[in-house]
A = this chain, B = another copy of it.
Amino acid sequence: LLIRSVGTDGDRLPHTGMMSGTEAGDPVPSAALSSPDADNLMLMFGRQAPVRVRLDLDVGFDGEATSHNVVGEFDGSENLDQRILLGAHLDSWDLGTGAVDDGAGVALVLAAAKLNADLETRPRHPVRVVLYANEEQGVYGGKAYAKLHEADLANHLVGAESDLGADRIYRFKSLVLPGAEAVIELLATHLKKLGIERELAEPAGGGADVGQMRKLGLPVIDLDQDAVRYFDLHHTANDTLDKVNPRNLQQNLAAWATLVYVTANSTVEFGPVAPTE
């Protein structure tokens, strides 16, 4: 299977990914072509002569190995049981260095937690940061965390994940009980100062990893970021630190620090919400 890269750029550095399948013989050997190379191949198909493509693929499945989620937490000043759950993932696709997917997310949730931990008075609730292992090959870290903490759902107040680059946050969504609406409105008031609008038409999803807990009933908040550049960078050789715009990252972090501050100081129950598939 040879596909046109799903990136929108004109670089000869294709967006790549993984092929999966459940039938016998799946997955088929697969590769992605950059847009300029796909254009060139299409031009060749338009001619009368036969077209021959030689594939030299150095990929495959080398068997299972153990990797680890990295979990850190600071205590709340008044509540020791119900924690805010912040997530991002440690692994990255191999062509670049993973600065955008998901190094930036790791930096954002860690920095948001630290800014709150360093306050003179710590927030009421504990804040937990989970840096998930092996998101890329099938959300293994997120699924393992949810399985391990299934009986522990009530000890998680609300969750949020950063895994779509490092550009500006432009809106946020929530999936919480009606009784938490006043806190979400307070959050909306603060985020509006950063140019962030509340989205009412769609519920939050929680992201790939934290979303595994949402399926069990964890309430979640999504900080949605501008992902226009995302598919030109992540899973390509161009996913490097220079692609992280410091000014955009600052706005993004301000939103995350605000989210943690408002939720971790709240006195309401956000969930549980309805479990889903």
CB within 8 Å of B: which residues of A? Answer: 10-13, 35-37, 39-40, 96-97, 237-238, 240-243
Contacts and interface: CB of A to CB of B under 8 A. Distances in A.
Q: How many copies does the complex hold?
A: 2
A40 B238 CA distance: 13
B40 A10 contact: no
A241 B37 CA distance: 10
Contacts of A97: 40
A239 to B, nearest CB: 9
9 contacts: A10-B240, A10-B242, A11-B238, A12-B96, A12-B240, A35-B242, A36-B242, A39-B241, A40-B97
A237 B37 CA distance: 11
A7 to B, nearest CB: 12
A13 B11 contact: yes
Contacts of A13: 11-13
A97 B43 CA distance: 14
Nearest to A12: B237
